[in-house]
Amino acid sequence: MSDRIFVSGNNAVARGAIQAGCKYFFGYPITPQSEIPEYMSRELPKIGGVFVQSESESGSIYMVYGGGLAGERIMTSTSSPGFSLMAEGISYLAETEIPAVIVNVMRMGPGIGTGGQGGQTDYLQVTKGCGHGGYRAIVLAPASCQEIFDLMQVAFFLADKYRTPVLLVTDFILGQMDEPIELRTLEFEPLPKKDWALTGKEKRGGNRAAHIAAFFTYGGVVNYHMKQIEKYKEIKKAEVRYETYMAEDCDLLIVAYGSSARIARGAVDMGRNKGLKLGLLRPITLWPFPAEQISQLSSKVQKVLVVEDSQGQLIEDVEASIKTSVPVHLLGMWARHNTGGGGIIHPERIIEEVEKINGK
Amino acid sequence: MENNVPDLKKITGRPKLRTDFPGMYCPGCHYGIIARLLCEVIEELGIEGKAIGLAGVGCSFGGMPLTIDVDWTSCPHGRAPAMATAIKRIHPDATVFTVQGDGDLGAIGLGCFMNALGRGENLTTVFLNNAVYGTTGGQMAPTTLLGMKTTTTPLGRELKTSGYPLHIPELAATMKGVSYSARCTVHTPANFQKARKALKIAFQKQLNGIGYSLVEFVSACPPGWGLNPLDCLDFISEKMLKEYPLGEFKNVDSLD
């Protein structure tokens, strides 16, 4: 039996990373994720690791890039405005296929937004290739502290397996709430040796490693894209993750991710007690998106309701997944119980919306 | 033909670390000479097996990695010191150096560079100052001389609108985390030899584990300057070195 402890989502990010063998963290303070660099600054030196506080999120992501090139498991974490600064570097990580894990504890934007207010307003940014060039990165969206801890381990594995940046998104609610977690180590298939890593050529029998951008490395950027297109197909086939709850016999399917999915799950229970046949599909990977699963389920229901703490971003992928004329409704940030820092969408409000669209 | 060849004595050869890549620099550019110097110094110090180079955006980007046979990565504009920081922290036994131009280091990457100096990272930077953005076609750089014509200062750089040329080694010398800061050129054989010495000291500082070391090379960009290679040498002597004096600005054996 593994140890069980009571920790915040941010703490679970840091612990999950260390569990995965990450010993190098490069980060910059920003609310609501600063507990992650704080934890790493305290714990990494104890295990022979390194913590560097950078001068900006731009500095962080390029330290991550250098650390990834050096062949180690490395990560950074930030929140929305910082993530925008990192977008450029993530594009370079994608170009040179360097594994890295980047955590975005979202806060409501655009611009400075506010550190003290949750929100899921970075969905489009994280899923559509946040930097230039049209690359894809795997995006994991946990909904509990345990899942954060577990998916951090998955994130490092997938980053190494596919040689890609992997993004893990949480938000203010998930980052700051405390839950019990089991400190378990997940098992993964063996990974190939990183013979491409920069170590000095004497460690490679005198053969040098050189990473000189796609233009040189692939003999042209189009060749690079051809290889990525194949890789993306493979990822889409093998790595889609999602969870359903009471979706088998539902009339109305709710689609929600992260903290909104937790609330929606409560609404499903509440609705079922009132005789409403609600079900939930929660995408765990936002890319690759569970389009096929949503398509199949949506063909069996009368209505679909997307619940997200934003203006309506996830709904674009849900609508693109559905091939029938089933109506797709949206409950967004306007459904919060107040517009201040502590406003959230309560399950009761979801039920109210369901009854409204049912015409009651 | 053979009879016409005078009795030549071989005093140097192709450096072992010079790859077979033919080179990509314009006629009269000094970067190829600096690449050769890097090969020679890395060989002399016997660090080719543990050297890791990081090339900034600009004419260093592809040319240096393709020319010098050690581990390399090219870097996004101005971010080489951040990337080098992580590589050196992870592989403290490696000799990690960046090669960055004046736009890369002095403009877009100045913050990144200064912060690496501030942290006193144990790194070496080769700073190539040819006073223009060569790769993008000869626009103004932070090191462009006052009055110097570039494609974005068609009437010459004006103080009122574009400010002063930037003096990187002098600036670096003010930083506590810096062990060595010097400026040199390769535009005459005597200066080439002095530059070799400076570069060797810079690497030696890193090998001794003492802070950040920096060598600036004032170098020619014939197409950027609109001058032929020979006139570029005069331009360096008469104009560039007036603004950018040669010498050491800091050389310490331990940090405060």
Distance, CA of A308 to CA of A290 (rounded, Å) = 16
Q: How would residue B10 be classed by pLDDT, with cut points 50, 70 and 90?
A: confident
For chain A, domain boundaries: 4-238, 243-357
Instruction: Answer whether residue B1 shows pLDDT above 60.
Output: no
Residue numbers in B near A67 (CB within 8 A): 86-87, 89-90
Q: How would residue A213 be classed by pLDDT, with cut points 50, 70 and 90?
A: confident
Q: How would residue B66 be classed by pLDDT, with cut points 50, 70 and 90?
A: very high
Distance, CA of A245 to CA of A209 (rounded, Å) = 48
Q: How far is B251 from chain A (nearest CA, A)?
A: 26
Residue numbers in A near B84 (CB within 8 A): 66
The third-level CATH classification (topology) of the domain covering A4-238 is Rossmann fold (3.40.50)
Q: How far is B64 from chain A (nearest CA, A)?
A: 10
B214 near A CB under 8 A: no
Q: How far is B14 from chain A (nearest CA, A)?
A: 19
Neighbouring CB atoms inside 10 A of B162's CB total 16
pLDDT of B142: 98
- The DSSP H or E segment spanning B185 is strand B178-185
Radius of gyration of chain A (CA): 21
Locate B148 and state its tokens: 């110097």
For chain B, domain boundaries: 22-251
The conformational region for residue A220 under phi > 0 = left, psi -120 to 50 = alpha, else beta, is left
Q: How would residue B4 be classed by pLDDT, with cut points 50, 70 and 90?
A: confident
- Touching A: B residues 171-210, CB under 8 Å: none
CATH number belonging to the domain at A243-357, selected among 3.40.50.1820, 3.55.40.20, 3.65.10.10, 3.40.50.920: 3.40.50.920
B97 near A CB under 8 A: no
Q: Give the chain B residue whose CA is nearest to the CA of A74.
A: B86
Q: What is the pLDDT of residues A130-156, one digit of tens each?
A: 999 999 999 999 999 999 999 999 999
Same fold across A4-238 and A243-357: yes
Could you give the 3-state DSSP secondary structure of residue A189? coil
Produce one character per residue of A97-121: b if its CB has 16 or more CB atoms within 10 Å, e if not.
bbbbbbbbbbbbbeeebbbebbbbb
CB distance A209–B71 less than 8 Å?
yes
Candidates A271, A274, A259, A246; CA nearest to A336 is: A259
Instruction: Answer whether residue A214 shows pLDDT above 80.
Output: no
Candidates B190, B166, B179, B187; CA nearest to B248 is: B179
Q: How far is B90 from chain A (nearest CA, A)?
A: 7
The third-level CATH classification (topology) of the domain covering B22-251 is Rossmann fold (3.40.50)
Q: Give the chain A residue whose CA is nearest to the CA of B85.
A: A63
Locate B131 and state its tokens: 């006073």
B16 near A CB under 8 A: no
Span B119-126, average pLDDT? 98
Report CA torsion sign: A248, A250, A256, A259.
negative
- Touching A: B residues 106-145, CB under 8 Å: 111-112, 115, 119
Q: How far is B67 from chain A (nearest CA, A)?
A: 11
Candidates B219, B220, B216, B177; CA nearest to B198 is: B216
pLDDT of A295: 97
Q: How many helices (H) and strands (E) does chain A have?
A: 13, 15
3-state helix/strand/coil string of chain B:
CHHHCCCCCCCCCCCCCECCCCCCCCCCCCHHHHHHHHHHHHHHHCCCCCEEEEECCCCCCCHHHHHECCEEEECCCCCHHHHHHHHHHHCCCCEEEEEEEHHHHHHHCHHHHHHHHHCCCCCEEEEEECCEECCCCCEECCCCCCCCCECCECCCCCHHHHCCCCCHHHHHHCCCCEEEEEEEECCCHHHHHHHHHHHHHHHHHHHCCCCEEEEEEECCCHHHHCCCHHHHHHHHHHHHHHHCCCEEEEECCCCC
Q: How would residue B7 be classed by pLDDT, with cut points 50, 70 and 90?
A: confident
pLDDT of A360: 62
CB distance A67–B62 less than 8 Å?
no
Q: What is the pLDDT of residues B197-246, one digit of tens each?
A: 999 999 999 999 999 999 999 999 999 999 999 999 999 999 999 999 99
Distance, CA of A42 to CA of A14 (rounded, Å) = 11
> What angle is formed at CA B26 by the lines to CA B24 and CA B27, rounded to 5 degrees?
125
Residue numbers in A near B71 (CB within 8 A): 198-201, 208-210
Q: What mean pLDDT value characterizes chain A?
A: 96
Locate B176 and state its tokens: 């506590």
pLDDT of A240: 98
Reported ipTM: the value is 0.95
Residue A90 and residue A165 in contact, taking contact as beta carbons nearer than 8 Å: yes
Neighbouring CB atoms inside 10 A of A48's CB total 7
